[in-house]
């Protein structure tokens, strides 16, 4: 549905694809991504571009899914179509097992289940269709397709589906880019959020309410919200009386600089398959304060995770870390150690080995 780009635009699943498949070119593989177009504030992304050696083709029409499948269908007519097809399932599956040609090996990647997020994002009618496709159609149609997930948590979620009976299910975790930056911490105690401003998936409104309580206990504290999304104006209105700075979308360079300068990272998402920004923040020594989603991405030594939607507990975690410099220092060491568990090169090799088994 979406692909990586050289433009100033990022997303967890897009970055997963970019970092996993870019090294495959070193083995002589030609990786081509066919995905849908994406609107930006400036217009749209390039129809064709090369991203770290990956050929990206974007299609655009009123019926994007039909157009996307049409491009795939025409590509199949080429003698050099593909030796292996991989479907990257973000939200709605394209049901590739039903229309791919017989004999072409297929592998699927599923990042996480959306669940009720479908309804929160699209309302009951469209949301129910999405929920039905994920909970019923997806496990039935992909039952015999080798599947890659990004965490043990997502693996368990899939196996708990009524029809979730996969025999070949491989966990390939994301990695973290180790970018060396040297920047002094903000003088003011600073909490950082970085991600999408989409309340159906990321409860940034909860963070603002938690920060309102924290600010009373630590009047010198500030909150930086980096990222963009459909709920930005609503969140800006909510934070109008607080020391909150909205940066909009940030470049990779500025992202890592913010990680380096902040004191704490907070991401109160109620739905994550892995939590890639957690380990990105960890790699810069930032402790995490967020909602406990049952993931093993972070450990108690480098994070304070509280029950989902508990804004008071979220505020207590933020306040505790802002006030306790010794605890922050200890968690900073543990955070870097935790981030060291995740490596893109290792994950790329692991998925390629799994793909080779499927190909054989």
Question: Residue 201: what pLDDT?
Answer: 78
Q: Distance between CA atoms of 207 and 196, rounded to whole angstroms?
A: 13
Site of tokens 């066919």 = 34
Cβ atoms of 83 and 359 within 8 Å: the answer is yes
For residue 186, the SS3 value is coil
**pLDDT score recorded for residue 125:** 78
**Cα 133 from Cα 257, distance rounded (Å):** 40
DSSP code of 33? E
pLDDT, residue 64, reads 63
Instruction: List, in sequence order, the alpha helices (H) in the chain.
Output: 12-21, 64-76, 96-99, 117-132, 138-141, 152-159, 204-217, 232-238, 252-261, 276-283, 311-323, 325-339, 344-359
* Cα–Cα distance, 360 to 40 (Å, whole number): 41
The pLDDT score that the predictor gives to residue 20 is 95
The reported pLDDT for the residue numbered 238 is 96
pLDDT at residue 11 in the model: 77
pLDDT value, residue 65: 67
CA distances from 280 to 79, 335, 343 (A): 41, 10, 11
Nearest by Cα to 348 from 140, 128, 148: 148
Residue-level pLDDT at 217: 94
Distance (Å, whole) CA 211 – CA 166: 43
H/E stretch holding 107: strand 106-110
Using 70 as the pLDDT threshold, list the residues of the chain that sit under it: 41, 61-67, 73-80, 121-122
């Amino acid at each position: 549905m979406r692909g990586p780009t050289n433009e100033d635009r990022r997303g967890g699943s897009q970055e997963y694809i970019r970092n996993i498949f870019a090294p495959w070119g070193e083995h002589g593989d030609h990786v081509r991504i066919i995905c849908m177009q994406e609107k930006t504030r400036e217009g749209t992304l390039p129809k064709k571009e090369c991203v770290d050696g990956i050929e990206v083709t974007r299609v655009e029409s009123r019926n994007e899914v039909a157009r996307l499948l049409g491009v795939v269908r025409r590509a199949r007519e080429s003698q050099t179509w593909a030796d292996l097809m991989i479907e990257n399932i973000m939200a709605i599956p394209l049901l590739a097992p039903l229309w791919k040609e017989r004999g072409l090996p297929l592998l699927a990647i599923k990042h996480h289940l959306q669940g009720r997020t479908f309804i929160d994002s699209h309302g009951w009618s469209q949301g129910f269709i999405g929920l039905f496709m994920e909970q019923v159609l997806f496990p039935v149609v992909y039952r015999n397709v080798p599947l890659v997930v990004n965490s043990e948590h997502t693996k368990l979620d899939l196996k708990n589906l009524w029809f979730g009976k996969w025999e070949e299910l491989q966990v390939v975790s994301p990695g973290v880019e180790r970018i060396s930056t040297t920047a002094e911490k903000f003088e003011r105690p600073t909490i950082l959020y970085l991600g999408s401003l989409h309340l159906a998936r990321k409860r940034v409104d909860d963070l603002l309410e938690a920060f309102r309580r924290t600010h009373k206990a630590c009047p010198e504290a500030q909150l930086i919200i980096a990222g963009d999304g459909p709920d930005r104006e609503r969140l800006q209105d909510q934070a109008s009386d607080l020391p909150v700075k909205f940066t909009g979308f940030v470049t990779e360079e500025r992202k890592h600089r913010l990680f380096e300068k902040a004191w704490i990272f907070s991401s109160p998402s109620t739905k994550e398959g892995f939590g890639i920004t957690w380990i990105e923040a960890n790699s810069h020594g930032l402790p995490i304060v967020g909602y406990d989603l049952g993931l093993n991405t972070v450990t108690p030594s480098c994070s304070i995770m509280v029950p989902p939607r508990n804004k008071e507990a979220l505020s207590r975690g933020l306040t505790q870390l802002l006030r306790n410099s010794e605890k922050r220092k200890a968690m900073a060491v543990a955070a870097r150690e935790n981030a060291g568990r995740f490596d893109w090169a290792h994950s790329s090799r692991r998925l390629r080995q799994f793909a080779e088994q499927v190909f054989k």
